[in-house]
Amino acid sequence: MHGFAIDVEVKWVRFPSVASTGTKARWTVLESSTDAANGAVREKYRKTSCQAKGSGVFRKTLSEVGSLKARSNTMKKLVMTAAVLACAASVVTAQTVTSANMVGYAKVTAVGGQLTLVALNFETGGLTVNELFGSLPTGSVINLWDKGANAYVTSNKGRAGFSPNPVVTLGSALWVKAAGTATNQIILSGEVLLSETNTVAVTGLDASGYFYPVETLWGDTDLAVQAPAGSVLNVWNGVGYSTYNKGRAGWSGNPAIGVAQGFWLSVPSSITWKEIRPFDID
Amino acid sequence: MKKNVVLAMAVMMAVGAQADFYINFFSSFGIYDKDGGAGIIPSIGDTATVQLIYAGVDGVANEFAPGQLDIGALITGDDQLVWSGSFQNTGALFEDYAAGNFAIIAEPFLGNGMIYGRIFNSGSIAVGDNYYIGHVLTAANLNPAGDPPPAADNYDLGLAADGVAAMGTVIPEPATIGLMGIAGLGMFLARKKSRR
């Protein structure tokens, strides 16, 4: 087992090219929060893992977002300055596959008492609210939009964690409201969707997010193109909604949809959202 | 007693906070003029008056007569004005059709929540102006300051669902019509007398 610790701004990490199908990577994510009242920093390590589906190398240069600290079991320190880095994975000799396997991270800042509309840009393989947001203090509230029921599933954090504890899937959107006044840093992690397209049906009003962990302009998404006239986009700006309508002249604005940022879309008639992967892989 | 008053006020405030028309009022397609050719405000600088109206218990957009609004009582029947504003053609694409954003409206909720929008082809409504009435929508009773905050209901004036725009005309109020009739009769009689 090769071990290291990192303290670097990263967006994605990938398995080393020698990793193979079945390789399981494990790492620990350090989530930090700052108490606004006294500036005290609290840090908490959370273990996570991912099963490799294959190996590959990215062609695209990845931009940097979020602050990620990870450490291995051996705690050998190694500061990485690149945006893309190898993950601590067991290296085994096995068959080489053509598909790549990427693990992504996104940092979400949740200030106590304030609302943040978050979307999950990763495939987590069934992680729940508790597993994703368990580091938030007791009294925190998560409102997950249930796309099927068109209603919120409200989870409150008590001593035993969040209850109820629904699974959060790729493209899900939810409200995070941390208790207290501290600033909480949450690291969302999972596998980056690598399929060339992702298709879902959108009907009526829906809270959603982009399928890929990259910032994109709204107008560049297939969703913006497919949405018929009369559609409305609501993006949370921290204190209220920024509302954009689609009319004869197109959208009334072209906001950037950030990594892990959720949004509301209302469509007057059902559409099929077929988003194309916005990056290349080997 | 004092406690009860405080409690009642708290309840009223709570009810008030959860009782709003919270409407994103806009027009995606816009409105044609009465001839169905040009837009409703064809020239740059033209201004339209846009209104959001509660349709009342009957849920119907009331007019003085079909296709007519009485200038003296632009709001008739059991309808109530919720919000009024203006939209100007600044020369942007399709603004001559009043296609664009009107307002995000948060006003006290009324009755069954049935609302409709309408638009006039002038900034100060006068006799002879044309107007267009949109579809009736049952709006949700929302609290814009809710936790989490809801997205506003959308009201799209001139939506394809409204069909081809049928313009009405603003007419003089009945009393004025009566006076005009009397004046006309007087002129007729005076002319007849002078011929003799």
Residues of A in contact with B26 (CB under 8 A): 232, 245, 247
A85: Cα separation from own chain's centroid: 18
Interface membership of B154 toward A (CB under 8 Å): yes
Beta pairing, strands B68-70 & B168-171: parallel
Residues of B in contact with A115 (CB under 8 A): 147-149
What radius of gyration, in Å, describes the C-alpha atoms of chain A? 19
B154 and A177 in contact by Cβ < 8 A? no
> Is residue A58 scored above 60 in pLDDT?
no
Interface membership of A175 toward B (CB under 8 Å): yes
What percentage of chain B exceeds 90 in pLDDT? 67
Higher pLDDT, A99 or A261: A261
Residues 90-129 of chain B with CB under 8 A from chain A are 92-94, 97, 99-101, 104
Helix (H/G/I), strand (E/B), else coil: A170: coil
Interface membership of A115 toward B (CB under 8 Å): yes
pLDDT score at A213: 86
pLDDT score at B178: 56
Q: Can you give the length of chain A in residues?
A: 282
CB–CB of A18/A55 below 8 Å?
Answer: yes
Residue A245 has its nearest CB partner, among B101, B147, B148, at B101
Residue B154: partners with Cβ closer than 8 Å, 6 or more residues away: A230, A232, A245, A266, B23, B24, B26
| CA distance to partner chain B, nearest, from residue A275 (Å) | 24
pLDDT band at residue B193 under the 50/70/90 scheme: low
Residue B176: partners with Cβ closer than 8 Å, 6 or more residues away: B71, B72
B147 and A177 in contact by Cβ < 8 A? yes
Residue in chain A nearest B104 by alpha carbon: A243
Q: Which tens digit of pLDDT belongs to each residue from A123-181?
A: 888 899 999 999 999 999 999 999 889 899 999 999 899 999 999 999 999 999 999 99
pLDDT band at residue A277 under the 50/70/90 scheme: confident
pLDDT averaged over every residue in chain A: 72
Residues of A in contact with B140 (CB under 8 A): none
> Is residue A13 scored above 60 in pLDDT?
no
Helix (H/G/I), strand (E/B), else coil: B92: coil
Higher pLDDT, A51 or B134: B134
Could you report the predicted ipTM of this complex, rounded to two decimals?
0.75
Dist. CA B164–CA B161, nearest whole Å: 9
Helix (H/G/I), strand (E/B), else coil: A126: coil
Interface membership of A264 toward B (CB under 8 Å): yes
Count of pairs with CB atoms under 8 A, one residue in A, one in B: 66
Dist. CA A153–CA A145, nearest whole Å: 6
Q: Which tens digit of pLDDT belongs to each residue from A99-124?
A: 456 777 888 999 999 999 999 998 88
Dist. CA A88–CA A28, nearest whole Å: 10
Which of A184-188, A246-250, B77-81 is modeled with the greatest confidence? B77-81
B26 and A247 in contact by Cβ < 8 A? yes
Beta-bridge partners for A186:
A108
A152 and B99 in contact by Cβ < 8 A? no
Q: Which tens digit of pLDDT belongs to each residue from B68-111?
A: 999 999 999 999 999 999 999 999 999 999 999 999 999 999 99
Beta pairing, strands A115-119 & A102-111: unpaired
Q: Which tens digit of pLDDT belongs to each residue from B48-57?
A: 999 999 999 9
Which stretch of DSSP H or E encloses residue B7? helix B2-17
pLDDT score at B183: 61
Give the global pTM: 0.72
